[in-house]
Amino acid sequence: MKSFLLTALAVIASATYSAAEIKVVSPWADTTWTSGGRGNITWTTESSDAKKDCHIQMMNGNATNSNMVAYVTAPDTPVKCSTESYQIHPLNDFAAGKYWIRIGQTDAADSWAYSGVFEFKGNGTAKPYHLACKCYTQHG
């Protein structure tokens, strides 16, 4: 009975959750971003997601209580997922600490792909939910 329930739960979980076809390559744990510097983001995309629009957001917190800190791409101007790279320059001044990036489609909760946790060095003068840069952004 126990194995039947576990199998049933696994089938239900796989039917209701499909992993994102996006895989974040960088930033990763050995990355440090610094206020005023550059933030390089790279990912790979399966062909099924290539023509979709991707939003990029900067997060902090922990696995059970994460917070979106900033929009990397403006909410009204996502990038094509097939772009597979994005550079932020100069980085806004976020508080020093641990952060990560998520990339995906905002209309599909299971589409998000996450970077590794990386270090950010800053003083924390940036306002929450603003763009991750004070600047211009470029991609591709």
pLDDT band at residue 122, thresholds of 50, 70 and 90? very high
The tens digit of pLDDT for each residue in 14-47 reads: 333 344 589 999 999 999 999 999 999 999 998 8
pTM: 0.76
For each of the domains in the chain, give its residue range(s) and CATH number, in order of start: 19-139 (2.60.40)
**HEC secondary structure over the chain:** CHHHHHHHHHHHHHHHCCCCCEEEEECCCCCEEECCCCEEEEEEECHHHCCCEEEEEEEEEECCEEEEEEECCCCCCCEEHHHCEEEEEEECCCEEEEEEEEEECCCCHHHCEECCCEEEEEECCCCCCCECEEEEEEEC
- Tell me the pLDDT of the chain averaged across its residues: 80
